[in-house]
Amino acid sequence: MLKKIDKCLLKVGMAAFGLGVAASLLLSGIAWLLVEKGLWAQPEEGLVIMGVVYLVLFTPLFYYLLYQKSIVDQIKKDKEERLLRDVTTRLYKSKVFKELAGTQIRLCKRNGWPVGMIVMDIDQLARINQQYSFDAGNQALRHFAAILKETIRESDLVARFDDDRFVLLLPNCDINSAKKVVQRFQSQILSTPLVVDKKEIKIPFSSGVVSFAGRVAKFNHLLNRANMALEQAKKKGGNRIELF
């Protein structure tokens, strides 16, 4: 798609060049006629006529070029977004999250801040897919992600790791503060069910929470321990918060 539009812009640019040459020849002819008719003695009229001709010829062309450029810019932006973010939830992809999280962890180490991590897993996504539809399952993921983004701070990072698993990195956040983040989100998501075909669908989830002092925090250690806490939450029946 992008290559096709680039070719289109090239063609339009060549057409613009050709029209520019043609317009120059046309205006030269008009100027010669004005001189022959004795109108060039009044240069204001000649300039007005030339200006009108240029305006009529090139205004639509320049508008079209700008319109095509805006399409190309939007496609490039969308392409970059698809590389960075999950299509369904618009959250960061796991690879991007790991890179950004590494930067945040290094910042916490320099400042001596604690680093929190939360791993969440939707408990009944498969049931929603089976009972309603896969579209309803995608709606549940988008609903979950949208409320999650509203709950966390701007400095926090969140990503969709697997089909129904989400990971948060919380800079300068100890274990108690991280737990409060999950509790706040849990209260919000359970009190705001998804509505599909006039039916309310609650989205319970399990979560594992961990926090390390910034000077010893490492991404893999945080993730492994948060996953271990999550597995404990699952074993205990789900829809609960477990601290490592």
pLDDT tens digit sequence for 116-143: 999 999 998 989 989 988 899 999 999 9
| Alpha-carbon span 230 to 241, nearest angstrom | 8
Q: What residue spans define the domains of the chain?
A: 2-82, 92-243
Render pLDDT for 38-82 as a digit per residue (tens, 0 to 9): 655 555 555 566 666 666 666 666 666 666 656 555 555 555 556
Superfamily of domain 92-243: Reverse transcriptase/Diguanylate cyclase domain (3.30.70.270)
> Which residues are CB-neighbours of 167 under 8 A, at least 6 positions away?
94, 97, 117, 118, 119, 120, 158, 159, 161, 223, 226
> Which residues are CB-neighbours of 64 under 8 A, at least 6 positions away?
12
pTM of the shown model: 0.69
